[in-house]
Structure 1
C-alpha cells in the first residue's frame, strides 16, 4: 500500500517546474507518468487473473426426467439400488482341486444342475473299499444265518431223541446252547453289516461333495474359479485357494432398497404405491409398491432404508442398478404421460435479476440458464419445464459469487 501511495504522489504535477523552452511539453515527465500507469495496470491485471482463476467450490446434482404424470401426486422421491433378496456364492463342501467348471457369467441354471466337479479319485477308492467291506459283512451274515438254521435243526432232533431215551439230556442241552451261540453271532454280524452300509453312505456323501450343484434356479453373475484351482469352504490357503466357484442370483427375488431422509420417512407407508425409474432406462416406468420400512436408522447418513417391490420382472433389471423411486399418494394411471421437463433440487433454482435461473457445470465452468419452473413437487424437488435437459449437472445452492463463466470445483455430487 505504501508503494502505491508513493506512485500516486509521483503523478501530481509539480508547478515549480516550467515548461521546456519553446512551450513544449515535458516529455520526460510524461514518459515517467505513462510508465507508472502501465505498472499499476499490470498489477491490477495480475490480481484479476489470480483471483479470477480461483475456482469456487460447489455442490451439484443431476437433472432427471420426471417419473410420470403421477409425480404431481408424489409425496417423496428417493434414490437407491436394485438388490437381490436371494443370492448365493456356491462352493464345494470339501477342499479339492477343480477338474471341471461348467458355468459362465450370464448362464441360467436350474436347481440341482451341476456347476463344477472336483478331483475325486481318492474318494472313489474309499467308496469302493467301503462297498467291499459291506459286501463281506453281508456274506458273514448269510453264513451265520445258515449255521443258526442247522444248529436249530440239530437241537430239535436231539430233543426228540432225549424224549425217546436214546441220548442223554446233556447232549441235547449242548446242541441248544450251540444254536443260541450262532444266533448271537448272527445278530453281531448283522450289526457289522449295518455299520459297513453306513460307511458306504459316508463314502458316497463325500464323493457327492466333489460335485457342486445349483441350490436354486437363477443366473450366474460371477465365475470365481477356474479348472486346476483349489476350492475350499474355508477362507484359508492364501491366493491359490478359492472359497467359491460362482455366484447365483435369483432374478425373481429382485427388489429395490432406497435410503429415505429420516425427516421425511413419515410420508412413506407400507404397501404404498410407488413408481421406479432405472438410471439405465430413464423412459421406462416400473410400477412398484412399498414392502416394508426397515426399523433402523443410519446414524451417519440420517436415513432409513425402505424396501420396494417391483411389480414387473424383466431381464433388463439386474442387481446394483441405480434407480429412482417416486412414492405416490395414489397409483398413477397406466396411460398417464410424464410431464415435460426435468426434476432438479429446489435449492438449485435461484433468483437473479428477477428471473428464475440455474447454473449448469460445463467444462469446470458455471453456465447460467434462464429457466421456467413449475410448482414444487415436494420440499426437495421442483419441475423445470424449460431451460434444462435431463442428465445435465446443476449447482445446488449456488453462492452469489457464481456468475456465467465462473470456474467451479465440484466437492460433492448427488444423484
Structure 2
C-alpha cells in the first residue's frame, strides 16, 4: 500500500512537470541559444589591395635628337654624375660639314648684298643724272622712266638678297644647334642606372623600344616610390596623404611605410582585358641598407582610415535589409534582459573583422553575432539563451587542454 502511494506521488510530480513544459511551449518561452559580444572600441583600418612596380622618384631616360654613331661614352653604369656633366659623344662630322656649307652660303649672301648695294647706288646716280637731262630736254620721258625702273629693281634685288642672307643665317644656327646635340649632357644629378648603348652603335631619335633609341637612364636613387594600379571601383576612396604599406617582391619580410603622393586623373586600359585602372604613386620611406631597385614588383595595402579606435561590432553581426521603397537599412540584434531586440544602426568604415557603428549602440551592449542561421530567423522579442563568444572560446580551450592532459596521463601509465 505504501509502495502504491509512492508511485502515485511520483506520477503526479512527473505530470505536473510535463504540464509546465507544455505550457511553456504553448506560451513560446523556449529559448534560442545565441552567441553575443560586447560592443566596444576597436582599431579599424580598412584597406585597398593594389599591385605595381617600384620606380625612382626622379628618373630620366636619355634619347638622341639626331641620327649619329656613338663616338665615345664617358661614364659607366653605376657612376654618380652632376647636372650638365658630359656623358656621351656622337659622331659630329656630318654636322660640322653642314656648318661649313651654311657658313659658305652666309658668306656668299654677304657678297651678293654688297654687289646689290653697289648696283643700287649706281642706279640712283643714273636716275639723278637723268632728272637733270630731262630738265634740259636732252633725253625723252621714256629714257627717264627706264632709269627710274632700274633704280626700283635694284632696291628689290637688294631686299631679296638680304632675306636670302637671313635664311642662310637661320640654317647655320640650326646646324650649330645640331652639332651641340652630339654632346649628351646630364639633365639632372644622379646615378647611371642603365646604359644599353655601346660605342659604334647608331643612336636614333625615337620613343619606341628600338635598338639605339635609348642612350642611358639617370635617376636620383635617394628617393623611391611605388607606382600602383588601383581598380576603377576603388579609386574614388583614395585620397592624397593616405598611409600605405608596400611589400617589395625582393624583401617580402620588410613592409615599407609610404604616403599617397599622386593620383592619376585619366585611366589606363589593362592589356588583354576591358578593365580600367588608375595609377597611384606612393612615396616610400626606405631604409638606406635595403637596396631597392627601380622596376621591382610590389604589392601594397592602401589604408582608408587612420587606424584610431571607434565603437564597433563584428561584421557578421550587421544585417542589411531593403524596404519596399528601396531604402537600405542596417541593424543588429542585441540581448536585452534575455530577449532579442532589433536595433537600427548607422555604420561607418569596416575591415575584415570589425564594422564601425556611428549611432544606435552604446559601449557594453550585448550584440548577437551568431549562429548565422539563427540571425536570419530571429524575431523581435524572442527569448534567447546568450553566451559570450569569448567565454565560449575560453571554455572550449580549457576543455581541450584537460583532454590533452588526460591523454598524456594515460600514455605515461
Is 1:247 the counterpart of 2:247 in the alignment? Answer: no
Task: Kindly state the Cα deviation for residue 122 of structure 1 after the two structures are TM-superposed.
Answer: 2.8
Correspondent of 1:177 among 137, 149, 157: 149
Name the structure 1 match of 2:238.
269
Task: Kindly state the Cα deviation for residue 186 of structure 1 after the two structures are TM-superposed.
Answer: 1.4
Is 1:126 the counterpart of 2:98 in the alignment? Answer: yes
Query: Number of matched residues?
Result: 264
Alignment CA distance shift 1:285-1:147 (3 Å): same
- Structure 1: unaligned runs, 5 residues or longer: 1-70, 334-375, 380-415
Distance 2:212 2:110 in 1: 42
Contact 1:84 1:255 in 2 (8 A): yes
Task: Kindly state the Cα deviation for residue 277 of structure 1 after the two structures are TM-superposed.
Answer: 4.8
Name the structure 2 match of 1:150.
122
Name the structure 2 match of 1:74.
45
Residues 107-256 of structure 1: pairs in structure 2 closer than 5 A:
107-109=79-81, 113-165=85-137, 167-214=139-186, 219-233=191-205, 242-249=212-219, 254-256=224-226
Is 1:100 the counterpart of 2:41 in the alignment? Answer: no
Correspondent of 1:286 among 245, 249, 257: 257
Residues 33-48 of structure 1: pairs in structure 2 closer than 5 A:
none
Correspondent of 1:309 among 239, 262, 282: 282
Task: Kindly state the Cα deviation for residue 271 of structure 1 after the two structures are TM-superposed.
Answer: 2.8
Task: Kindly state the Cα deviation for residue 248 of structure 1 after the two structures are TM-superposed.
Answer: 3.0
Is 1:328 the counterpart of 2:330 in the alignment? Answer: no
Alignment CA distance shift 1:285-1:242 (3 Å): closer
Contact 1:291 1:309 in 2 (8 A): yes
- Structure 2: unaligned runs, 5 residues or longer: 1-41, 309-349, 354-413
Contact 2:243 2:302 in 1 (8 A): yes
Alignment CA distance shift 1:301-1:135 (3 Å): closer
Task: Kindly state the Cα deviation for residue 276 of structure 1 after the two structures are TM-superposed.
Answer: 3.2
Contact 1:274 1:325 in 2 (8 A): no
Task: Kindly state the Cα deviation for residue 121 of structure 1 after the two structures are TM-superposed.
Answer: 1.6
Distance 2:120 2:109 in 1: 17
Distance 1:107 1:269 in 2: 38
Distance 1:277 1:318 in 2: 14
Contact 1:76 1:378 in 2 (8 A): no
Alignment CA distance shift 1:234-1:270 (3 Å): closer
Distance 1:297 1:133 in 2: 53
Alignment CA distance shift 1:285-1:332 (3 Å): farther
Task: Kindly state the Cα deviation for residue 260 of structure 1 after the two structures are TM-superposed.
Answer: 6.3
Superposed CA deviations along residues 360-402 of structure 1, whole A, max 9, x for unmatched, are xxxxxxxxxxxxxxxx9836xxxxxxxxxxxxxxxxxxxxxxx
Superposed CA deviations along residues 60-105 of structure 1, whole A, max 9, x for unmatched, are xxxxxxxxxxx95432374543235764532323332211213332
Contact 2:62 2:217 in 1 (8 A): yes
Partner SS, residue 74 of structure 1: coil
Task: Kindly state the Cα deviation for residue 116 of structure 1 after the two structures are TM-superposed.
Answer: 1.5
